[in-house]
Structure 1
Amino acid sequence: MLPWLDACRESMDMLKGTSSFGDYRSNDDEASLGKPLIPDTTLDEEAPVSALSASLQKASFHGSMPSMKKCSFTQALVNGINVLTGIGLLTTPYAVKEGGWMSLTLLMMFAVIACYTGILLKRCLESSPGLQTYPDIGHAAFGVPGRLIIAVTLYAELYAGCVEFVIIISDNLSTIFPNTSIHIAGIYLNAHQIFAIIGILIVLPTVWLRDLSLLSYLSVGGVGASIFVVLCLLWVGAVDQIGFHRTGTALNLASLPISVGIYSFCYAGHSVFPNIYSSMKEPSLFPLVLIVSFIFCWFICTGAAISGFLIFGDSVQSQFTLNMPIKFAASKIAVWTVVIITISKYALTLTPVAMSLEELVPSTWSRSYGVSVLIRTALVISTLVVAMAVPFFASLMALAGSLLTVLITIIFPCACYLSILGHRLTNMQMAVCICISILGFFIACDGTYSAVIRIAGQR
């Protein structure tokens, strides 16, 4: 069990190197913890694979690595922005439709709370020089059970992200080729099912790879891709003359929990924050990295939410790219950008989960490439099965956001902070943490229940 827990550190470093459309850790080499997103050396020199294995979006292929240089402020900032600007961006207009215009205040509120809890993780790391990753913090706070619970939650969030990736590929390709269908041995497959299978066939070989450096190149462009897709959305509304229209309600309490889950998913980055902090040349600047990263994420998500809902109104779908008329060049470019970035991120996201399972296999087997291929293939097929069984992108995001992201972003940081540093805190500091934890608990319960009911109704 302990080797599996150590693999979590490798996975975290991987997440630092992933793109913005996904949301997302450590090799036995401690040097991987300092690996910057914008490296001073080439990607080949950095061995991105071992970064992947390091922590939650990490993967650890046990090999030697050169010593890594520490991240500058700029590199750490790009890491933070890259981690935060995720697939939740595509769904923010739908969240406005569900919760109403006033629900956007929650997007800002979550940004403030998530930024604060990110600083709490920094303070936990400072409590002991041996702490470097999120599971390390859990271990310091609650022992091996704490490390295990946090690690499992982080891997579950990664797995959920991979399921969302399959749905994104399926939904967006179906908009380009809507009339695709096939009959095989009496079985009918529609466009969504066909492209889900095609997407899995494309990403499967990338999951088998030991060297993910090429995918790392693509994933690093995720922030730019996110901005580019939003610009395509604005182009469709303004230049292609679809126009912006006043619509929507002020507040819809009945569907507000769905919006809450989606908004919380937009800030799913805490799994990697400890690794970014540990990798910085000047850790004292980490709070500034968080503040700027959250402001950027809030700004682009709010811009996409307002623009998308003004353009498409109540007809907006779970991903605004599905509403963009495919006859326009900007729409095609946006859809293909989303698909390509998503495909490039799949292997980077799933590899840490695969490596954690490989650590459970007897050592004589785990060294076998064939065993690794079988485990990874089974994982990939399982994400396809889940995506085809529950192809509801927004509802799944609301479920993952309400349950997993709220735990990782709100509840766990406060609980660990109180456990590790509670004896040093003032009554006010303790009260703030307790209040945030209680708020997170109610959000998790209400949002999870609402998302489950929504999914059951859609099925």
Structure 2
Amino acid sequence: MPAARFVRRMLGRGSGGANDGSLDIPAPAAGAAPPAAGAAASSVYEAPADFTDASSLDSGGKEPIGEAVAFGEKEAVRAAVSQGTALEEEAQQGDQGAAEADGVRSPVQPRNAGFLRSFSNVVCIIIGTGCLQIPYAFAKTGWIGIIILFLSAFIGSYTGVLAIRCLYYQGPMGQRLHSFPQIGRAAFGRVGQYVTQFFNYTYTLGATCLYIILSGQFIYDMLSTLGVGVPQKVWMIIVTVVMWIPVALLKEMSEAAIMAIFGLLASIAVILICTVMSVVKPYTVMYPNSPAPDHHAALGAGIPIALSSIVFSFAGTVVYPHVEESMRKPKQWPMVVYAAMGFCAVFYLMIGVSGYWAYGDLVVSPVLDSIPRGAPATVGKILITVHVIIASPILLLSLFLDIEKQWRITAERLGKKREFLVRLVYRTAIVAAVCGVSLAIPYFSDFLGLISSISCVTMYAMVPIICYLKLFGHRIAPWYEKIWMVVVLAISSVACVWGSIDSIKNLIKDVQGSK
């Protein structure tokens, strides 16, 4: 029996034949980079059956393996299928095999996260401060914002799956990539790596700046009413110091699991508070003698900037490689990302519809400033501040893991004491720089629009699709999927350019108005 037929019978058809929610990794396109050099036969990366398409076991998708497949190799495939995926072991083999050629052992994240922990990590990053912008986005677009919301969720789910496929583009005999910059380099060389790094780091650091601005603003608003005269910028510095503690101590994504769950619960509570207060105390009840706010079915002029804001509310793509890398059963990744997007979409719909219905075109961002002052608003601000302090270390950790893998900041290479010192110093320097930028641009709404327009939209939708097509070739996707990709790229481009222009104009007005 030819080897290709044997493998297909053992693994089943990976593209459309299995309905277990696993990722289907197609064969690399012609001209794609070969497996990592120096990986000996005893330590090659064997992609788990859960991520393998039968066609990817052909050489470059062209020539079958033929009878050159040894009996022992067939037995290894059979064992992988029968026993499930031992991805932690396999990922370590791939990383170590490539690194041993340079005499350095790459850091490998332990795969011990289950579905709930992975789901919590993703949702904690996705759901948060962005939810406070949803009613304001609806005010920019009208009720058509509901369609934009679900469209953004679907795009995020699709590109989240594509992004992880790109990590395994080398197929069963190659090394798994670790981050978006590595995907960019595999697809477009050093230029692709640097461009991807720019957007990746801009989003991560920009979102952290946004968290610091928002939490400092909330603490100042709450305590100033009690007579505490501490300036908002001082609170922003204090928040940064509190966030720095877990940033300095956490080393792996799996260590942030408990923080992610608490952050998730805090965000859900904030959304419920805003939803209930919007229904109970709409604008017409708060101000019975004032004209009712306006509501619109659709406002075309505000769609681009609103789209970029809604996309920010679903963004978390830069963290996905590290979350998937920590999963005990990586075949569950599609279920994790689709469940997380669906979960967030439902709660965003609640706060968006209720907030826009209650306050119409007079709603402000964040929406907590629209609901009546009192205990509910105060509790909501406290909870969102807690979430921000929890989510920021998780977001920054994805950046730090990229840096530490790229520069090989490991205990094996530097020693435990030196590795800890290097990690502490450079992480502290980055956090301090982020704090400095936050102090210079304390404008929440427009800063959010700028960050999401420039980097968030790019990393959320454009980079996964472009790199996927480059790594696997356009022939891998059916015609209707190609049309969908073109539509997503067109929408993303418009949102990126138009949203950036509007955000920059608004920021200029903010700066001029504050003088």
Scaled to the shorter chain, the TM-score interval is 0.7 to 0.9
SS at match of 1:318: coil
CA contact (8 A) 2:120 2:257 kept: no
Q: Which residue pairs with 1:316 in the alignment? A: 363
SS at match of 1:297: helix
Residue segments in structure 2 that go unaligned for 5+ positions in a row: 1-47, 49-104, 287-291
Cα distance in 2 between the residues matched to 1:251 and 1:66 = 47
Cα distance in 2 between the residues matched to 1:66 and 1:133 = 10
Please say which of residues 125-134 and 85-94 is displaced more in the overlay: 125-134
Task: Name which of 375, 378, 383 aligns with 2:429.
Answer: 378
SS at match of 1:272: helix
SS at match of 1:101: coil
Q: 1:429 to 1:373 in 2, by over 3 A?
A: closer
Shift of residue 453 of structure 1? Answer: 1.3
Q: Which residue pairs with 1:401 in the alignment? A: 452
Q: Which residue pairs with 2:212 in the alignment? A: 166
Shift of residue 399 of structure 1? Answer: 1.4
Please say which of residues 238-247 and 309-318 is displaced more in the overlay: 238-247
SS at match of 2:298: coil
CA contact (8 A) 2:117 2:257 kept: no
**Residues 428-453 of structure 1, C-alpha deviation per residue, up to 9 Å, x if partnerless?**
44343233223322221111111111
Cα distance in 2 between the residues matched to 1:113 and 1:214 = 29
Cα distance in 1 between the residues matched to 2:401 and 2:160 = 26
Q: Which residue pairs with 1:420 in the alignment? A: 471
Cα distance in 2 between the residues matched to 1:407 and 1:226 = 25
Q: Which residue pairs with 1:141 in the alignment? A: 187
Q: Is 1:441–2:493 an aligned residue pair?
A: yes
Shift of residue 396 of structure 1? Answer: 1.5
Q: Is 1:218–2:259 an aligned residue pair?
A: yes
Tell me the TM-score normalized by structure 2: 0.66
Cα distance in 1 between the residues matched to 2:275 and 2:478 = 48
Task: Name which of 349, 357, 376 aligns with 1:330.
Answer: 376
Q: 1:206 to 1:68 in 2, by over 3 A?
A: closer
Q: 1:381 to 1:248 in 2, by over 3 A?
A: farther
Q: 1:68 to 1:376 in 2, by over 3 A?
A: closer
Q: Is 1:84–2:126 an aligned residue pair?
A: yes
Shift of residue 284 of structure 1? Answer: 4.7
Q: Which amino acid aligns with 1:398?
A: G
Task: Name which of 123, 127, 131 aligns with 2:176.
Answer: 131
Task: Name which of 254, 260, 268 aligns with 1:227.
Answer: 268
CA contact (8 A) 1:411 1:437 kept: yes
Shift of residue 268 of structure 1? Answer: 0.8
Q: Which residue pairs with 1:350 in the alignment? A: 396
Q: Is 1:198–2:238 an aligned residue pair?
A: yes
Q: 1:360 to 1:195 in 2, by over 3 A?
A: same
Q: Which amino acid aligns with 1:341?
A: H
Q: Which residue pairs with 2:114 in the alignment? A: 71
CA contact (8 A) 2:240 2:435 kept: yes
CA contact (8 A) 2:128 2:384 kept: no
CA contact (8 A) 1:207 1:347 kept: yes
Cα distance in 2 between the residues matched to 1:163 and 1:86 = 14
Over alpha carbons, which structure has the higher Rg? 2
Please say which of residues 62-71 and 139-148 is displaced more in the overlay: 62-71
SS at match of 2:158: helix
SS at match of 1:177: helix
Task: Name which of 331, 336, 339 aligns with 2:385.
Answer: 339
Q: 1:376 to 1:262 in 2, by over 3 A?
A: same
Q: Which amino acid aligns with 2:196?
A: I
Please say which of residues 238-247 and 125-134 is displaced more in the overlay: 238-247
Shift of residue 322 of structure 1? Answer: 2.6
Q: 1:76 to 1:379 in 2, by over 3 A?
A: closer
Q: Which amino acid aligns with 2:392?
A: Y
Q: Is 1:387–2:438 an aligned residue pair?
A: yes
SS at match of 2:176: coil
Q: 1:181 to 1:375 in 2, by over 3 A?
A: farther
Q: Which residue pairs with 1:4 in the alignment? A: none
Please say which of residues 229-238 and 202-211 is displaced more in the overlay: 202-211
Tell me the TM-score normalized by structure 1: 0.73
Shift of residue 155 of structure 1? Answer: 2.2
Cα distance in 1 between the residues matched to 2:293 and 2:361 = 10
Q: 1:237 to 1:277 in 2, by over 3 A?
A: same
CA contact (8 A) 1:177 1:191 kept: no
Cα distance in 2 between the residues matched to 1:374 and 1:118 = 32
Q: Which residue pairs with 1:93 in the alignment? A: 135
Shift of residue 203 of structure 1? Answer: 3.2
**Residues 122-175 of structure 1, C-alpha deviation per residue, up to 9 Å, x if partnerless?**
443454243344424333322343334323422221111110111111221122
**Residues 8-59 of structure 1, C-alpha deviation per residue, up to 9 Å, x if partnerless?**
xxxxxxxxxxxxxxxxxxxxxxxxxx9xxxxxxxxxxxxxxxxxxxxxxxxx
SS at match of 2:503: helix
Q: 1:64 to 1:430 in 2, by over 3 A?
A: closer
Q: Is 1:209–2:223 an aligned residue pair?
A: no
Matching of residues 11-160 of structure 1 within 5 Å? 67-69=110-112, 71-72=114-115, 74-127=116-169, 128-129=171-172, 130-135=175-180, 136-160=182-206
Shift of residue 97 of structure 1? Answer: 2.0
Q: 1:198 to 1:274 in 2, by over 3 A?
A: closer
Q: Which amino acid aligns with 1:448?
A: S
Residue segments in structure 1 that go unaligned for 5+ positions in a row: 1-33, 35-61, 183-189
Cα distance in 2 between the residues matched to 1:445 and 1:431 = 21
CA contact (8 A) 2:279 2:358 kept: no
CA contact (8 A) 1:312 1:323 kept: yes
Task: Name which of 317, 338, 342 aligns with 1:295.
Answer: 342
Shift of residue 342 of structure 1? Answer: 1.4
Cα distance in 2 between the residues matched to 1:356 and 1:131 = 14
**Residues 397-433 of structure 1, C-alpha deviation per residue, up to 9 Å, x if partnerless?**
1112112121112111111121122243344443432
Q: 1:164 to 1:367 in 2, by over 3 A?
A: same
